[in-house]
Each structure stands twice: as structure tokens, then as C-alpha cells.
């Protein structure tokens, strides 16, 4: 059921476990995967938003770590923090990533499933995604030079997870907030998807996941084709700044320029989640326009990224950069 890179056994995994069904199954499978001593650890992020229930979740995950004789780490957040879907995710990474670096493991594993993939792609379509957004959740994604995010259950349906836990009589925690309608993802999961399955396509999950796979394959092939071109126009590259020579790009069409910029954004690990078609188009126009008309012009983009055109150079700078990029 698990898909793991072979190096995971050598470099170690920190498993993010909430206590819900998906993460409990992930931990159970990892604990039985014959990791060398010290190469598997458990981390739990306690958002402290549900009072005693949140503390009970943490205690449950702690007991699982003890059952499997694994190191346990807990990150307790400020209970007064107001969370959106994105900020909650970023806070979790802000807790988990430094912990993985401190204990010296290479991989941070989360329990995203094929159902999460379906919900993510639909969510992006509804809010207006580009072609790259259709690729959904990546099974592997570099967070830093030292730590890679790993989703070993991304190919597994949630119903398979539940059947697995029932078969092995493994308890898990239920988060009642998953039924609340304030978050868009909950509405997609609990309202939209049941209607799509019942009235339009019983295989909608498989169809959306197949679309995500095809989009990811297309994006990978396109990335290879653009690498050589980007290499020719790349004048400077630092963690927080990249400078491009715009002259060799003047004769390319806006769609190609948008794809070049998206690839550069990904290389720099700049946040892409809030970038929309209009913003990519404005950036491409800044790249393509004649220098005298745009020299000294600056545009600001979501995630604290600025773009400044100076003569025949385009400089992209991360003013406020979290380092986590897109999901």
C-alpha cells in the first residue's frame, strides 16, 4: 500500500500524525516497514482549537508512538490563532520542517490520499487554476535542501484506508470539524463530490486523479524542454532573488513566457497558490514589453514576491518568503 523511495530507509522519516484515519494507517504501515532503529519518528501538531478534544488527539498519537517504540514530538500552537485552510497548512509545515531538520531525517511524510488529490484538483478548478494547477498534489516535493515532503498514500482511496483499519482493528480519532461547512474543502468533500458521484459520474475520483497524473506528466515534460532556455537567460540566481535577461525572450508568445515564469517560480520555491491567470499574464507582459516603456516598473505579487524590469533585465525578489511554495 505504501510507496516509499528506497533512500527513506537510510535517511529516515518523520511521520506527521494527526490521529485521524489516514495518518493512523500511515503510521501503522510505516511502523511495520522494517525501518532501522532511529530512522522513523512521529510528530503531532496540536492546534489547540478544540480544547480537550485537541489534547486528547495529541495524547492518542503519543500513545501510538509509545506502542511502536518511536520518538514522539509535539508542536503546540497558540489556541487563539485564527486559521484559514492555507494558514493552517503553513503553520503545520513551520512546525514540522524544523523538527525534521533537527532530528536529521531527510523525509517528512504526510497521509494525503487519492481522495485528497480529487478534492485539491476540484478546489483549484473552482477558484480558477492554470494548467499546472491540475497536477494537484505531488507525491514528492522538496521543502529545503535537507528535507523532502513525501506522500506515500497518495494513490490510495480513503475507503481502502478505512477498510484496512477495520481489518486490523486499529482505532483512530474523529475530527468533528471535518463536517463543518466554513471551509471550502469540507463543502467539496461532503456536498459536491457526493452529488458528482451520484448524478454525473460514479468514477469521478478516478477521473480527476487520472487528469492530475496526465497534467503532472505534461508539466514534467514541459519543464525539461524549458530548462535549456531558462539556462540561457538566467543571469543571477540566489535563494531570494533571480535575474533574467529578457532580450532572448522577446519573440516568444505570451503562453510560452507564462510557462517560463512558472518554471522559474517553482525553481525558486516562490509561493504559487494565489497566483492567477491575470497575474501570470501581467508578469509575462512585463517580461516581453519594450524596455523604454517598462524600465523601472515594478509589480508586486502574492506571497511577497516583487518583479522589477530594469532595461533588459527582469529581477524577481522574495520580499517575504516562507520557503514552502505550493502544496
Q: What was the pLDDT predicted at 294?
A: 58
E-strand ranges in the chain read: 13-16, 40-46, 71-76, 107-109, 140-142, 148-150, 234-237, 241-245, 297-301, 305-310, 313-318
Check which CATH number belongs to the domain holding 303 and give it. Answer: 3.30.465.60
On whether both 47 and 89 belong to a single domain, the answer is: yes
Boundary-marking domain end, from 199, 222, 256: 199
Prediction pTM value? 0.83
Give the mean model confidence (pLDDT) for residues 163-180.
90
Q: CA 146, CA 203: separation in Å to the nearest integer?
A: 39
On whether both 237 and 88 belong to a single domain, the answer is: no
On whether both 248 and 172 belong to a single domain, the answer is: no
Query: Looking at the domain assignment, is residue 18 inside a domain?
Result: yes
Residue 269 clears pLDDT 90, i.e. is over it: no
On whether both 163 and 263 belong to a single domain, the answer is: no
Check which CATH number belongs to the domain holding 53 and give it. Answer: 3.40.50.620
Please give the radius of gyration of the chain, using alpha carbons only, rounded to the nearest integer.
Answer: 21
On whether both 191 and 313 belong to a single domain, the answer is: no
CB atoms within 10 A of CB 245: 14
Using a 10 angstrom Cβ sphere, with 0-12 exposed, 13-18 middle and 19 or more buried, the burial of residue 21 is buried
Q: What was the pLDDT predicted at 183?
A: 84
Label residue 321 by pLDDT band (50, 70, 90). Answer: very low
Query: Looking at the domain assignment, is residue 130 inside a domain?
Result: no
Digit-coded pLDDT (tens) for 177-230: 777 788 889 999 999 999 999 999 999 999 999 999 999 999 889 888 899 899
Query: Looking at the domain assignment, is residue 47 inside a domain?
Result: yes
Query: Looking at the domain assignment, is residue 138 inside a domain?
Result: no
Give the mean model confidence (pLDDT) for residues 309-313.
89
Q: What was the pLDDT predicted at 320?
A: 56
Boundary-marking domain end, from 167, 199, 231: 199
Query: Looking at the domain assignment, is residue 294 inside a domain?
Result: yes
Query: Looking at the domain assignment, is residue 120 inside a domain?
Result: no
On whether both 241 and 157 belong to a single domain, the answer is: no
On whether both 190 and 280 belong to a single domain, the answer is: no
On whether both 193 and 243 belong to a single domain, the answer is: no
Lowest-confidence region among 20-34, 120-134, 158-172, 185-199: 120-134
Residue 95 clears pLDDT 80, i.e. is over it: yes
Q: CA 248, CA 256: separation in Å to the nearest integer?
A: 13
Boundary-marking domain end, from 176, 199, 222: 199
On whether both 189 and 242 belong to a single domain, the answer is: no
Looking at the structure of the chain, the number of domains it has is 2
Query: Looking at the domain assignment, is residue 204 inside a domain?
Result: no
On whether both 183 and 259 belong to a single domain, the answer is: no
Q: CA 138, CA 121: separation in Å to the nearest integer?
A: 12
On whether both 190 and 70 belong to a single domain, the answer is: yes
Specify whether the backbone of 78 is left (phi greater than 0), alpha (psi in -120 to 50) or beta: beta
Query: Looking at the domain assignment, is residue 157 inside a domain?
Result: yes
Residue 46 belongs to what domain range?
8-112+151-199
Label residue 80 by pLDDT band (50, 70, 90). Answer: low
Give residue for cell 520557503: 323
Q: What was the pLDDT predicted at 85?
A: 60
With CA atoms as reference, report the closest residue to 55 among 160, 151, 173.
Answer: 173
On whether both 25 and 155 belong to a single domain, the answer is: yes
Lowest-confidence region among 20-24, 42-46, 77-81, 98-102: 77-81
User: Could you give the strand order of the β-sheet that contains 305-310, starting from the edge strand earlier in sequence?
Assistant: 234-237, 241-245, 313-318, 305-310, 297-301
Residue 81 clears pLDDT 60, i.e. is over it: no
Amino acid at each position: 500500500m505504501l510507496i516509499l523511495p528506497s533512500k527513506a530507509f537510510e535517511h529516515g522519516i518523520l511521520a506527521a500524525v494527526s490521529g485521524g484515519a489516514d495518518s493512523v494507517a500511515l503510521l501503522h504501515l510505516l511502523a511495520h516497514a522494517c525501518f532501522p532503529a532511529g530512522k522513523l519518528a512521529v510528530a503531532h501538531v496540536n492546534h489547540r482549537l478544540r480544547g480537550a478534544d485537541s489534547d486528547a488527539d495529541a495524547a492518542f498519537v503519543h500513545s501510538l508512538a509509545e506502542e511502536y517504540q518511536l520518538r514522539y514530538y509535539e508542536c503546540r500552537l497558540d489556541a487563539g490563532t485564527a486559521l484559514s485552510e492555507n494558514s493552517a497548512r503553513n503553520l503545520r509545515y513551520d512546525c514540522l520542517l524544523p523538527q525534521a531538520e533537527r532530528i536529521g531525517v531527510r523525509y517528512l511524510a504526510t497521509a494525503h490520499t487519492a481522495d485528497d488529490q480529487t478534492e485539491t484538483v476540484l478546489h483549484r478548478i473552482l477558484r480558477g487554476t492554470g494548467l499546472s494547477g491540475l497536477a494537484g498534489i505531488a507525491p514528492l516535493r522538496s521543502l529545503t535542501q535537507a528535507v523532502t515532503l513525501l506522500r506515500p498514500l497518495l494513490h490510495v482511496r480513503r475507503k481502502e484506508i478505512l477498510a484496512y483499519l477495520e481489518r486490523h482493528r486499529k482505532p483512530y480519532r474523529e475530527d468533528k470539524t471535518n463536517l463543518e461547512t466554513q471551509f471550502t474543502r469540507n463543502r467539496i468533500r461532503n456536498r459536491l463530490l457526493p452529488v458528482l458521484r451520484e448524478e454525473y459520474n460514479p468514477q469521478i475520483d478516478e477521473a480527476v486523479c487520472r487528469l492530475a497524473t496526465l497534467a503532472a506528466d505534461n508539466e514534467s515534460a514541459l519543464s525539461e524542454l524549458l530548462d535549456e532556455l531558462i539556462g540561457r537567460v538566467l543571469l543571477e540566481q540566489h535563494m531570494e532573488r533571480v535575474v533574467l535577461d529578457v532580450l532572448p525572450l522577446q519573440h516568444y508568445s505570451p503562453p510560452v513566457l507564462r510557462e517560463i515564469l512558472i518554471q522559474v517560480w517553482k525553481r525558486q520555491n516562490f509561493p504559487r497558490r494565489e497566483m492567477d491567470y491575470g497575474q501570470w499574464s501581467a508578469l509575462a507582459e512585463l517580461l516581453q514589453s519594450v524596455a523604454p516603456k517598462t524600465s523601472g516598473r515594478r509589480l508586486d505579487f502574492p506571497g511577497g514576491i516583487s518583479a522589477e524590469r530594469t532595461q533588459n533585465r527582469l529581477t524577481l525578489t522574495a520580499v517575504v518568503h516562507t520557503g514552502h511554495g505550493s502544496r
